[in-house]
């Protein structure tokens, strides 16, 4: 084992410990804000594993999309609607916990079987001659999939403009097209009208 392999093994061990610790923190912490921050740590640790697998594009997409977009959106949603409420004890709550534990153990066993049965060995000659994933994806984006790539960008722009219009619909003035408003550009606030009582006497608003 050379130095590079030792560094990879140590890095993989650190990333595994960080991923498992952050994932446990996401589940076990009672403060949802801490859980959201630890979820970002899980995403970062997984992106480090992608780097160890020479999947640089997937690692960059993991950081940009999941950490930079999804996790930030989750944090904004938590901070906007975070209400402190006392949780009530549900009847037969142990049934839900047991079912959740059974599902987690099943998924863990399935993933462990896949990891053990998958051949992970790769010939160094093949790995050294292949270009990086960013180069391959970039070539496909600007050759074979140029038209779908540009159409996707146009559709995203249309969706963003439509979302802005729908969000600002309440602030648009309700005016008939072609009708010019006669209100002056600069005007003083209207004087409060005097209140007329039932007997016909005029009274001021202060009274």
pLDDT tens-place string over residues 34-89: 888 999 999 999 999 988 888 888 888 889 888 888 888 888 877 777 566 666 77
pLDDT of residue 1: 46
Enumerate the domain spans of the chain: 1-81, 132-169
Q: How far is the C-alpha of 8 from the C-alpha of 23, rounded, in Å?
A: 22
Distance of CA 183 to the CA centre of its chain: 46
Q: How far is the C-alpha of 183 from the C-alpha of 159, rounded, in Å?
A: 35
Q: How far is the C-alpha of 207 from the C-alpha of 193, rounded, in Å?
A: 13
Contact 61, 31 (CB under 8 A): no
Q: What band does 184 get if pLDDT is binned at 50, 70 and 90?
A: low
Q: How far is the C-alpha of 153 from the C-alpha of 163, rounded, in Å?
A: 15
Q: What is the pTM of this model?
A: 0.56
pLDDT digits (tens, 9 = 90+) for 16-35: 999 999 999 998 888 888 88
Domain 1-81 belongs in CATH node 1.20.120.1200: yes
Flag whether pLDDT at 204 surpasses 60.
Answer: no
């Amino acid at each position: 084992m050379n130095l590079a392999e030792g560094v990879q093994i140590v890095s993989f061990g650190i990333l595994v410990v960080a991923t498992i610790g952050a994932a446990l923190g996401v589940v076990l912490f009672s403060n949802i804000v801490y859980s959201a921050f630890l979820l970002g740590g899980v995403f970062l640790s997984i992106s480090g594993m992608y780097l160890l697998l020479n999947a640089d594009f997937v690692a960059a997409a993991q950081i940009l999309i999941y950490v930079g977009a999804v996790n930030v959106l989750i944090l904004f949603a938590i901070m906007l609607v975070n209400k402190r409420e006392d949780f009530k004890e549900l009847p037969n709550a142990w049934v839900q916990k047991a079912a959740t534990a059974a599902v987690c153990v099943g998924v863990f066993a399935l993933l462990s079987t896949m990891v053990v049965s998958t051949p992970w060995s790769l010939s160094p000659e093949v790995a050294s001659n292949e270009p990086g994933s960013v180069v391959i994806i970039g070539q496909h984006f600007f050759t074979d999939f140029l038209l779908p790539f540009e159409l996707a960008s146009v559709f995203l722009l249309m969706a963003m403009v439509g979302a802005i219009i729908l969000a600002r619909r309440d602030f648009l003035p309700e005016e008939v097209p072609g009708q010019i408003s006669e209100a002056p550009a600069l005007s003083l606030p209207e004087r409060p009208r005097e209140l007329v009582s039932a007997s016909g006497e005029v009274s001021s608003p202060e009274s």
